Amino acid sequence: MATTTTSTSSLPYEKERRIAELAVQRAAILSKAVYNSKVKGTLEKSDNSPVTIADFGAQALVFASLRNNFPDDNIIGEEDSGDLRSNKELASLVFKAITEAVYSNTTGQSSSESSSSNELGVINNEAEMLDLIDKGDCTDSGKGRVWALDPIDGTKGFLRGGQYAIALGLLVDGVVTVGVLGCPNLGEEGGVLLSAVKGQGTVVRPLTSDFSTLPDPSRVTMNPITTTSDATFCEGVETGHSNHNLQAKIAAGLGITKPSVRYDSQAKYAALALGEAEIYLRLPSSMKYEEKIWDHAAGSLVVEEAGGVAFDMYGEKLDFTTGRTFKKNKGVIVMPKAIQEDVVRVVREVAIEVYGGKSSL
Ligand SMILES: Nc1ncnc2c1ncn2[C@@H]1O[C@H](COP(=O)(O)O)[C@@H](OP(=O)(O)O)[C@H]1O
Q: Are 309 and 334 in contact (CB under 8 A)?
A: yes
CA 3–ligand 1 middle distance (angstroms) = 30
CA 346 to ligand 1 centroid distance, Å: 24
How far apart are the CA of 129 and the centre of ligand 1, in A? 25
- CATH number given to 228-360: 3.40.190.80
The reply to whether 73 sits in an annotated binding site is no
DSSP 3-state of 251:
helix
What spacing in Å lies between the alpha carbon of 47 and ligand 1's midpoint? 10
**Cα 56 to Cα 96: distance, rounded to the nearest angstrom:** 12
Q: Which atom of ligand 1 is nearest to the CA of 150?
A: 24
Q: Number of C-alpha atoms within 13 angstroms, CB side, residue 11? A: 16
pTM of the model: 0.95
Q: Are 107 and 99 in contact (CB under 8 A)?
A: no
In the reported structure, the alpha carbon of residue 154 is separated from the centroid of ligand 1 by a whole-number distance in angstroms of: 7
Q: How far apart are CA 133 and CA 215, in angstroms?
A: 29
Residue ranges of the chain assigned to CATH 3.40.190.80: 228-360
Going residue by residue through the chain, which has 361 residues, state the pLDDT in tens, using 9 for 90 and above.
555 555 555 899 999 999 999 999 999 999 999 999 988 989 998 888 999 999 999 999 999 999 999 999 999 999 999 999 999 999 999 999 999 999 874 344 454 556 566 899 999 999 999 999 999 999 999 999 999 999 999 999 999 999 999 999 999 999 999 999 999 999 989 999 999 999 999 999 999 999 999 999 999 999 999 999 999 999 999 999 999 999 999 999 999 999 999 999 999 999 999 999 999 999 999 999 999 999 999 999 999 999 999 999 999 999 999 999 999 999 999 999 999 999 999 999 999 999 998 876 7
Q: Which residues are catalytic?
A: 55, 155
Report how far apart, in Å, the C-alpha atoms of 9 and of each of 172, 215, 216 are.
Answer: 21, 14, 12
Specify the residue with its C-alpha closest to ligand 1, atom 15. Answer: 265
Cβ of 219: how many Cβ atoms within 10 Å? 18
What pLDDT, on the 0 to 100 scale, is given for residue 108?
A: 41
Ligand 1: atom nearest CA of 163 is 19
- Report the topology of domain 2-220: Fructose-1,6-Bisphosphatase; Chain A, domain 1 (3.30.540)
Q: Where are the alpha helices (DSSP H) in 42-102?
A: 53-69, 82-85, 88-102
The ipTM is: 0.99
| Cα(53)–Cα(59) distance, integer angstroms | 10
- 189 annotated to a ligand binding site: no
CA count, 13 A, side-chain hemisphere, 155 = 21
Which of 44, 45, 49, 242 maximizes ligand 1 atoms within 8 Å of its Cβ, making it the mutation to test the pocket?
49
134 is in an annotated binding site: no
- Mutation pick for ligand 1 pocket among 42, 149, 185, 238 (CB with most ligand atoms within 8 Å): 238
Measuring CA to CA, which residue among 235, 227, 262 is closest to residue 343? Answer: 227
Residue located nearest, by CA, to atom 2 of ligand 1: 241
Per the annotation, does 319 bind a ligand?
A: no
Q: Give the separation between CA 45 and CA 49, rounded to whole angstroms.
A: 5
Output the CA torsion sign for 324, 192, 231, 339.
positive
What pLDDT is stored for residue 48 in this prediction? 86
Residues of the chain with CATH 3.30.540.10: 2-220
Pocket residues for ligand 1 (CB within 6 Å)?
49, 78, 150, 153-155, 157, 236, 238, 240-241, 264-265, 285, 289, 292, 295
The per-residue pLDDT for 106 is 37
